[in-house]
């Protein structure tokens, strides 16, 4: 009898758990952050029984503190090609293209994540995955040296690759294979304290850009942070110092609002860690700064129109107040953010009416009863007004390039905000990936439309 395959959702959950355990052991300060987040979340739930009730009904209470995302930085097209296949085993696909060169970081990126609603509800874990753009290194000698170093490394274990092949050929993995796959895949994300390059090479790479040293000097693309969800990001940011954690200067993204939009995130500064350089002579000690912890709070996904407004407001704040190295002007930045974002409506109904955000529609029991009596209005607005059709925000599952750049910058040693001209190259990224990246706005629009169709169907109004 053929053996049953486990779901890709289960493999993703096993992987998330294994990665979390590994990272807590590797980066003890991350464990401290997790404890703080758990404390703050528990406090929020105690103060707000309605929130507790809502999360309990959505089945989210037990996994409130579970990690929501992580990030890696890859060195070559081949590495990106294989990571797409690896994440596919866990039901994660490439969504969105992020050009970080606009912010002075020589990478472009995508987000690997589950797509459909059921999978997102089970475990929305995503990995922000960047590919180094060596063509942005100006020094030709250094560029070819970096290329040669990267060409020699193998970041996937042979067994991980064999299991990816098996998944592709058979259409799934058995429970035993899945357990083995998770253990093998984890090896790619592990930290290696021994650099593969000499102290001299490391310094030259580092002088070109700190990020280049991080990607090129090691055996693999160590996971550089994990990010749990918090119910009150401002409280966690404010309380980090109590636990000896240094937060970045400002929370990235929109300000605190009644109706949360998109994504707010902040991180603690990357730690300086001891490493050993390669070389024939005695081991040479050094330090490397790359790994940190982050927290996130997500809100509703915005439509193209809503997003354009968000981008415009954020740009106007950043044009007005630039946070300097060391966090100067952080307070003024936060204030300006709150002020200017008053231009974006802060009620679910206004966001919906003005087509600024995506919503999930459902038929209410009153609506279904009215349908039986034949007393239903015909159009969605009238149905909503009567309480026959309900709507709730669709959560934003992706990232924000300006915010991501801020997280990168802060963890490359400075809080200084930089804004450069764009040099994006999505075609090259997709060629390396071996697939096209999906359009996140189209995915949200599809989910909204499907929910409205299903609701109208339930009310017996399909086709109207």
Q: Least distance to ligand OOG from the beta carbon of 178, Å?
A: 26
- Three-state SS for 388? coil
Candidates 73, 133, 206, 210: give the one binding ligand OOG (CB under 6 A): 73
Structural Rg of the chain based on CA atoms: 23
Beta bridge partners of 296: 229, 265
Q: Report the chain's terminal Cα–Cα distance, integer Å.
A: 49
Please give the residues from 265 up to 304 whose contact with Ni ion meets the rule CB under 5 A: 294
Q: Which stretch binds ligand OOG (CB under 6 A): 151-159, 407-415, 421-429, 430-438?
A: 407-415
How long a stretch of residues is the chain? Answer: 464
Number of other CB atoms surrounding residue 346 within 10 Å: 13
Report d(CA 188, CA 88) in Å as an integer.
15
Size of the site for ligand OOG (CB under 6 A): 13
Please give the residues from 208 up to 237 whose contact with ligand OOG meets the rule CB under 6 A: 224
Candidates 6, 55, 71, 363: give the one binding ligand OOG (CB under 6 A): 71
Report d(CA 84, CA 68) in Å as an integer.
19
Contact partner, 73, from Ni ion, ligand OOG, none, Cβ < 5-8 Å per class: ligand OOG
Structure tokens at 241: 């110092």
Structure tokens at 322: 């630039």
Q: Return the residue nearest ligand OOG (CB atom).
A: 404
Please give the residues from 146 up to 205 whose contact with ligand OOG meets the rule CB under 6 A: none
Residue 403 as a binder of ligand OOG (CB under 6 A): the answer is yes
Q: Which stretch binds ligand OOG (CB under 6 A): 83-91, 234-242, 399-407, 445-453?
A: 399-407
CB 69 within 8 A of CB 127: yes
Structure tokens at 226: 């994990």
Structure tokens at 165: 């092949």
Of 309, 193, 294, residue with least CA distance to 262: 309
Q: Least distance to ligand OOG from the beta carbon of 223, Å?
A: 9
Please list, in sequence order, all residues whose beta carbon lies within 8 angstroms of the beta carbon of residue 2, skipping any fewer than 6 positions away: none
Contact partner, 20, from ligand OOG, Ni ion, none, Cβ < 5-8 Å per class: none
Q: Print the binding letters for residues 264-283 with ligand OOG: x by CB under 6 A, - otherwise.
A: -x------------------
State the residue for tokens 């087509």: 355
Please give the residues from 426 up to 455 whose contact with ligand OOG meets the rule CB under 6 A: none
Contact positions vs Ni ion (CB under 5 A): 294
Contact positions vs ligand OOG (CB under 6 A): 71, 73, 128, 130, 224, 265, 294, 399, 403-404, 407-408, 411
């Amino acid at each position: 009898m053929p053996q049953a395959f486990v779901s890709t959702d289960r493999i993703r959950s096993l992987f998330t758990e294994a990665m979390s355990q590994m990272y807590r052991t590797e980066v003890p300060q991350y464990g401290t952050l997790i404890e703080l987040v758990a404390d703050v979340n528990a406090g929020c739930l105690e103060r707000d029984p309605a929130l507790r009730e809502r999360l309990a009904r959505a089945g989210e209470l037990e996994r409130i503190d579970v990690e929501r995302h992580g990030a890696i930085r890859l060195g070559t097209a081949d590495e990106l090609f294989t990571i797409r296949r690896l994440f596919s085993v866990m039901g994660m696909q490439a969504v969105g293209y992020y050009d970080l060169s606009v912010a002075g970081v020589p990478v472009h990126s995508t987000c690997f994540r589950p797509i459909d609603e059921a999978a997102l509800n089970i475990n929305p874990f995503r990995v922000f995955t960047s590919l180094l753009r060596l063509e942005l290194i100006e020094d030709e000698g250094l560029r070819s040296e970096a290329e040669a170093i990267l060409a020699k490394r193998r970041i996937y274990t042979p067994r991980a690759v064999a299991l990816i092949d098996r998944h592709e050929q058979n259409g799934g993995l058995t429970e035993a294979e899945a357990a083995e796959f998770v253990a093998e895949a984890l090896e790619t994300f592990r930290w290696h304290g021994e650099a593969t390059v000499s102290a001299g090479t490391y310094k030259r790479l580092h002088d070109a850009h700190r990020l280049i040293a991080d990607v090129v000097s090691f055996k693999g693309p160590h996971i550089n942070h994990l990010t749990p969800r918090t119910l009150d990001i401002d409280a966690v940011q404010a309380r980090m110092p109590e636990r000896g954690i240094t937060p970045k200067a400002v929370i990235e993204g929109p300000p605190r609002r009644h109706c949360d939009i998109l994504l707010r995130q902040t991180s603690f500064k990357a730690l300086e860690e001891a490493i050993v350089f390669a070389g024939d002579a005695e081991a040479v000690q050094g330090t490397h700064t790359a790994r940190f912890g982050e927290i996130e709070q997500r809100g509703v996904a915005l439509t193209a129109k809503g997003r354009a407004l968000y981008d415009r407001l954020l740009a106007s704040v950043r044009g007005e107040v630039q946070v300097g190295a060391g966090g100067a002007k952080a307070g003024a930045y936060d204030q300006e953010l709150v002020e200017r974002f008053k231009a974006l409506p802060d009620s679910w109904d206004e966001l919906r009416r003005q087509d600024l955000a995506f919503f999930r529609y459902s038929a209410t029991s009153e609506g279904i009863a009215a349908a039986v009596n034949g007393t239903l209005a015909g159009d969605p607005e009238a149905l909503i007004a009567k309480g026959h059709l309900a709507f709730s925000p669709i959560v934003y599952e992706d990232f924000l390039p300006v915010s991501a750049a801020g997280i990168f910058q802060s963890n490359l040693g400075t809080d200084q905000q930089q804004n450069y001209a764009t040099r994006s190259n999505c075609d090259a990224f997709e060629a390396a990936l071996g697939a096209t990246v999906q359009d996140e706005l189209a995915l949200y629009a599809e989910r909204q439309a499907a929910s409205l169709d299903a609701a109208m169907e339930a009310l017996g109004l399909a086709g109207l």
